[in-house]
Amino acid sequence: MDDKIKVLLEEISVFKAESKEQLEQFRIRFLGKKGLLTDLFGRMKEIEPALRKDYGKWVNELKVKAEEKLGEFRSSFESNDEPGYEGDLTLPGENIPLGALHPISIVRNRITEIFSRIGFYVSEGPEIEDDWHNFSALNFPEEHPARDMQDTFFINLSPPYSLRTHTSSVQVRVMENSKPPIRTISPGRVYRNEAISARAHCFFHQVEGLYIDENVSFADLKQTLLYFAKEMFSPETKIRLRPSFFPFTEPSAEMDISCNFCGGKGCNICKHTGWVEILGCGMVDPAVLENCKIDGERYSGFAFGMGIERIAMLKYDIKDLRIFSENDVRFLKQFTGI
C-alpha cells in the first residue's frame, strides 16, 4: 500500500474531535472540495496502469473511513446540542398559546357545511375578472344604472379588467363549463368602491349559491333558504321575503330572518322591527341562462347571495365591520375553540 495513504489511514483512525469546529476542520481536510481525497482521486491518471486498480481501492477505503469518522462525531455533537443544560427534563414545556380561526373563516366553513349537506359543491374563480363574467353575462349592460350599485376598482387595460364585485362571476363560469343539474356555492372575497364605515368596506366576503335543473321553482328557493336560516341561527328562526331588484334574477327578493336576539319582539339590533335582512335571492333570469348557453325553456333555477361579514355580525353581535380586517388580537382570540 502507498505509504502516504497508510499514514492518512492512521491519522483518521486515531482522530478524536473535541468540538464541532475541530470536526469541521477534519471534514475540510479530508472530504472538502479541495481536500486530500479530491487530490488523491485526481492523481489516478499519474499512477501506472497496472497499479491503478489497487490504488483506487485504497483511496476508496480512505474515503469510507473518513466518512465513518465524520458521521460518528457528528451524531454525538447533534444529540448534545445544548451542552451545559442541567434543568429538570421532566418539567412541563412552556405554553404555546392556541390560535383561533378568523370569524370570517368560521362562518364561511359553517355556511359551506350547511349547503354541502343538501348537495351543493364549492366552486371558486378569479378575483380579477373581465367585464363579461362580472357584468355583461349577468344582465348588467354597459351604461346601465345597475352598474353604479356595484362600483369597483378597474384595471386600466383594454379590454378592461376589474376586481369582482360579487362571486356571481364564478357562477357564470360554472354555467359556461358544465351542464345542469348544477348545485353550487361560491365563497370568496369581493370588492366595491365604497367609503369605509362601520357598515361598508372596500372589500368583503360573499357566498353565492346557484341551483339549476328542470322544474326548479320559487318554492324550492324558499325551502332551501329556510333550511339554511334554521341551521345557521336556530331551529325557531323564521324567514320572510320582500320583493327587490337584481339584474340577474326575476323575480328577485331580499330575505329577512326573525331577529335572533329578541326572538322577534323588537330590540336595538333589529331596530325594533323583529326582522333583520340577511341575503338577496331570486329566480335566475332566463336571459342569464341563455348568455351561459343553457336552454332557458327547459331549465330554471334560483340564485342567492349573502355577505359573510353580515352573517358573522348577526351571529356574534359584532357592531363594526372594520374590526374583521384590523388584526386586533383582543378581538380575534375570542374565537379560540369555536
Stretch that binds Zn ion, among 46-54, 146-154, 201-209, 254-262 (CB under 5 A): 254-262
Q: Answer whether 305's CB lies under 8 Å from 275's CB.
A: no
| Nearest distance, CB of residue 269 and Zn ion, angstroms | 5
Q: Does 332 bind Zn ion (CB under 5 A)?
A: no
Nearer to Zn ion, 106 or 267 (CB): 267
Quote the least distance from Cβ 227 to Zn ion, whole Å: 22
**Degrees to nearest 5, angle at CA 271 with 267 and 277:** 110
Q: Is 309 helix (H, G, I), strand (E, B) or coil?
A: helix
Q: E-assigned strands of the chain? A: 121-122, 128-130, 154-155, 161-163, 182-191, 203-213, 239-246, 249-258, 275-284, 300-307
Binding span for Zn ion by CB under 5 A among 8-16, 50-58, 109-117, 258-266: 258-266
Phi-psi map region of 323: left, alpha, beta (phi>0 left; psi -120 to 50 alpha): alpha
262 binds Zn ion (CB under 5 A): yes
User: Where does this chain touch Zn ion (CB under 5 A) — which range of 135-143, 157-165, 193-201, 257-265?
Assistant: 257-265
> Site map for Zn ion, 181-200, x if CB under 5 A?
--------------------
> 5: which residues sit within 8 A by CB, 6+ positions away?
40, 58, 59, 62
Residues 6+ apart with CB under 8 A from 80: none
How far is it, in rounded angstroms, from Cα 8 to Cα 15?
10
Q: Dihedral angle at the C-alpha atoms of 286, 287, 288, 292, nearest 10 degrees?
A: 100
Q: Is residue 244 a contact partner of residue 252, using CB atoms and an 8 Å limit?
A: yes
d(CA 220, CA 155): 39
Binding residue (CB under 5 A) for Zn ion from 259, 283, 294, 303: 259
Q: Which is nearer to Zn ion, 153 or 261 (CB)?
A: 261
60-68, 111-119, 261-269, 326-334 -> range binding Zn ion (CB under 5 A): 261-269
Using Cβ positions, the residue closest to Zn ion within the complex turns out to be 259
Q: How many residues bind Zn ion (CB under 5 A)?
A: 6
Binding mask of the shown chain, residues 210 to 249, with x at each position contacting Zn ion by CB under 5 A: ----------------------------------------
Q: How far is the CB of 257 from Zn ion (least distance, A)?
A: 10
Judged by beta carbon, residue 31 or residue 262, the one nearer Zn ion is 262
Contact letters (x/-) for Zn ion, 264-303, by CB under 5 A? ---x-xx---------------------------------
Q: How far is the CB of 262 from Zn ion (least distance, A)?
A: 3
Per DSSP, the three-state class of 228 is: helix
Establish whether the linkage from the previous residue to 49 is cis, with ω within 30° of 0: no
Q: Which stretch binds Zn ion (CB under 5 A): 151-159, 202-210, 255-263, 279-287?
A: 255-263
Distance CA 149, CA 151 (A): 6
The residues of the shown chain that bind Zn ion, judged by CB under 5 A, are 259, 261-262, 267, 269-270
